[in-house]
Amino acid sequence: MPYIVYILKCFDGSLYTGITNDLVKRLKAHNLGTASKYTRGRGPLVVIYSEAAGDKSSALKREFQIKSLSKSNKLKIIANSS
């Protein structure tokens, strides 16, 4: 199953980047507060960006690249994907 790199927008305006092979299930877990310590209590959460990454290794590398960016650069990636 292919992996997906995604960015969530939290209720407080912050961004969260992660990977999954089932985005619908993972978003539900985030909104229930069971997927990540960071997103717990910051819902409701909305997927504002996603990209296919192929395998887990590629997804982890891409996640690291995105997490290394400033918020403004993350927003540019999101804007360019529309």
Sequence-distant (6+) residues with CB within 8 A of 50 are 4, 5, 6, 7, 23
Question: CA distances (Å), 74 to each of 2, 21, 33, 62, 70, in order?
Answer: 22, 21, 24, 12, 6
The pLDDT of residue 69 is above 90? yes
Please count the structural domains in the chain: 1
Count of other CB atoms within 10 angstroms of residue 5: 24
* Percent of the residues in the chain that have a pLDDT greater than 90, as a whole number: 94
50 half-sphere exposure, CB direction, 13 A CA radius = 16
Mean pLDDT value across residues 49-57: 95
Q: What is the pLDDT of residue 81?
A: 86
pTM of the model: 0.93
Domain range enclosing 12: 3-81
User: At 22, which CATH number?
Assistant: 3.40.1440.10
